[in-house]
Amino acid sequence: MQQSQLVVYRGVHAQHPALAAARRGIVTPGDMDGTVTPAEHNRGDVSADSPYTSWTFDRSIAESHADEYGPGGVILMLTFSAPEPGDKWSWEGSPDLFDEDEVLLRGYRTGATVEEI
């Protein structure tokens, strides 16, 4: 990952249902066809039904979420770049109600850089 590129981070905690996929650099939302909106996702407690995953520009925030259940979580990293034609994912803005520098990823992605914490 080049240093000059803007990077976004996601913390996946040790009890997360998508942890095994995350360890392989795969990003999977709770429900690809879910109808949860960005505002509902950001308010919290609806991840299982959401087509979004939460990302942040602040690595320390991702670290805290990865550490939510103690050791065993991972940090995922992606460059903040636009999708190529045909890609099935997109970035979407978050209301960021809790001021966590949040951005939302809609859809499924592979190729995230993985870091154990």
Measured CA to CA, the distance from residue 117 to residue 115 in angstroms comes to 6
Binding segment for other proteins among 24-32, 100-108, 109-117 (CB under 8 A)? 100-108
Residue found under tokens 């850089």: 113
> 69, 87, 110, 111: which one contacts other proteins (CB under 8 A)?
69
> 92, 108, 115, 117: which one contacts other proteins (CB under 8 A)?
92
The number of angstroms, rounded, from the C-alpha of 9 to the middle of its chain's C-alpha atoms is: 7
Q: How far is the CB of 68 from other proteins (least distance, A)?
A: 5
User: Is residue 91 a contact point for other proteins (CB under 8 A)?
Assistant: yes
- Going across the sheet that includes 102-106, the strands are 90-93, 102-106, 52-56, 7-12, 74-79, 113-116
User: Is residue 80 a contact point for other proteins (CB under 8 A)?
Assistant: yes
Nearer to other proteins, 24 or 68 (CB): 68
Measured CA to CA, the distance from residue 78 to residue 43 in angstroms comes to 23
Measured CA to CA, the distance from residue 83 to residue 110 in angstroms comes to 12
Q: How far is the CB of 82 from other proteins (least distance, A)?
A: 4
Which residues in 8-67 contact other proteins (CB under 8 A)?
13, 15, 39-40, 43-46, 49, 57, 60-61, 64-65, 67
